[in-house]
Amino acid sequence: MGFVLVLLFIVVFVLLISIRQINEYQRGVKFQLGKYTKTLNPGWRLVIPVFQTMRKVDIRVKAVDVPDQEAITRDNISARINAVIYYKVTDAGKAIIEVENYRHAVGQLAQTTMRNIVGEMELDELLTKRDQASEKIKGIVDALSDPWGIRVEHVELKDITLPEEMKRTIAKQAEAERERRSVIIKSEGELQAAVKLKEAAKMLAESPGALHLRTLSTLNDLSSDQSNTVVFAIPVEILRAFDGVAAHFKGKSK
């Protein structure tokens, strides 16, 4: 009877120490005598000591900060780039069996891929098309890490640091571009004003006395301010008419 109690106590003790809890955000990779058997779902699971082992794998989305990488663009400009990669484990068994440390492997793969992608792009493309660069990095890392049971969710380029000389050059380029736009806008305004003046002159020429009425209206507007000095320009035709009248009376007097 005492032997039975001892045996029962041993069995209960072994069962108690064999219980393993797997949380909802985890999966358990179970090995028996060193051989992979199956992947365990969340809950309480029995793992018999000595004969069986289990490794838990977190399947939540992980954010890995890819450190600064020194890269040279296709147009031979040096730049320092860092990024964030978001990924999750889709197959816990592959993540444990196929790669020694999937976290380190994904980080190293992201660094190498980021340098390669930057080397294929010019600086202007890299600065204006970050989304395209991120998609290229995501596609390559996702394809290469798929055999490890990893799925890349998103890649985001955080910062692109340029040398100080290049920053000054870009600032000068931007200033020149703003000046060019300013000159173009001013020229377009002058062109539109010239077109309107042409139309106004044509309308005044078609209406007899319109130019004279416009002149009188302008003089009336100027007369409202006594401090203004008005210089009235007489058309040459009027002066010639006066000369003609004077010559006519002069001829009669002779």
Block residue for tokens 């040096």: 78
**What does the pLDDT read at residue 9?**
76
Helices (H) and strands (E) in the chain, counts: 8, 8
Q: What is the pLDDT along the chain (254 residues), one digit of tens a residue?
A: 677 777 777 777 777 788 888 999 999 999 998 899 999 999 988 888 888 899 999 999 999 888 888 888 888 888 888 889 999 999 999 999 999 899 999 989 998 898 888 888 888 888 888 888 889 999 999 999 999 999 999 998 888 888 777 777 777 877 888 888 888 998 888 888 888 878 877 776 777 666 666 666 766 666 666 666 666 666 655 666 666 656 666 665 55
What are the tens digits of pLDDT across the range 72-101? 888 888 888 888 999 999 999 999 999 989
Tokens representing residue 163 in the block: 């040398």
Domain range summary for the chain, segments of one domain joined by +:
16-56, 62-167
Name 89's Cβ contacts closer than 8 Å, sequence gap at least 6.
27, 57, 58, 59, 95, 102, 149, 150, 151
Identify the CATH number of the domain defined by range 62-167.
3.30.479.30
Round the average pLDDT of the chain to a whole number and report it.
82
Q: How far apart are CA 51 and CA 144, in angstroms?
A: 34
Burial call 140-173: b when 16+ CB within 10 Å, e when fewer: bbbebbeebbbebeebebeebebeeeeeeeeeee
| Structure token digits, residue 58 | 């977190």
CA–CA distance, 26 with 44 (Å, rounded to integer): 12
Q: What is the pTM of this model?
A: 0.64
Distances (CA, A) of 104 to 41, 111, 202: 25, 11, 79
**Among candidate residues 93, 101, 2, the one with its CA nearest the CA of residue 39:** 93
